[in-house]
Amino acid sequence: LPLSIDGTLIAFNPNAIGFVNWQYVADRIVAKKAYKSITISLLYSYNVNEVYFDGIQLFKEEFGHSYVYDSSGTQVVAYTYDAWGNPLSTTGSMAGTLGKLNPFRYRGYVYDIQLAKSNKKGIPMDDAETLVKWAQEYNLPGNPRIDLGHPGRGVISQAPHAHIGSVNHIPIFKVPRG
């Protein structure tokens, strides 16, 4: 579980044992106390609603629509997707900058944007699952179950994978080199 700068536990799961120090309320995360600094390295997912905070910005996904907020809580980017996770639109005041650079995309996957642009290794441009760099499967209480990659290394070659449309993760993802 994450710790605050002063070393106190920050419980992020409403079903977790102990105190819940913040909760998801509409478009923001509300803390019970003021922190001078906080680093959250997690994805909270429940009922296909996902929230990410990378220490700089808040990113939220809700049923095929994804949003990015600035430090004042103003929505600055909105993404929409079709039923297969293909991007339909990117809108908002920062759509041309942050909207293009933001690596978090449909259903919590981190995409290798440069790989998508250059289409290296002959990977089809519309094969969104092949562009996954790193993702993690979470159970209903929001606890990680299976590490599907490594956030530092990423997947650099085409790999066989299985995607099940009825769930919000790729349950099988194998890299040819092991």
Residue 71: which H helix or E strand, with range? Answer: none
pLDDT grade, residue 61 (50/70/90)?
A: low
pTM of the complete model: 0.36
**Chain centre distance of CA 168:** 11
Nearest CA to 170 out of 116, 127, 141 is that of 127
pLDDT grade, residue 177 (50/70/90)?
A: very low
pLDDT grade, residue 51 (50/70/90)?
A: low
- Residues counted in the chain: 178
Q: Which residues contact 128 (CB under 8 A, 6 or more apart)?
A: 84, 85, 86, 105, 106, 109, 111
The pLDDT of residue 158 is 38
Pairing of strands 136-138, 87-91: unpaired
- The mean pLDDT value of the chain amounts to 54
Q: What are the beta bridge partners of residue 173? A: 161
Rounded Cα–Cα distance for residues 105 and 136 (Å): 14
Give the pLDDT mean for 75-80.
82
CB atoms < 10 A from the CB of 3, how many?
11
Q: Where are the domains of the chain?
A: 22-173
Q: Which residues contact 111 (CB under 8 A, 6 or more apart)?
A: 103, 105, 128, 131, 132, 133
Tokens standing for residue 65: 């629509």
Residue 68: which H helix or E strand, with range? Answer: strand 65-69
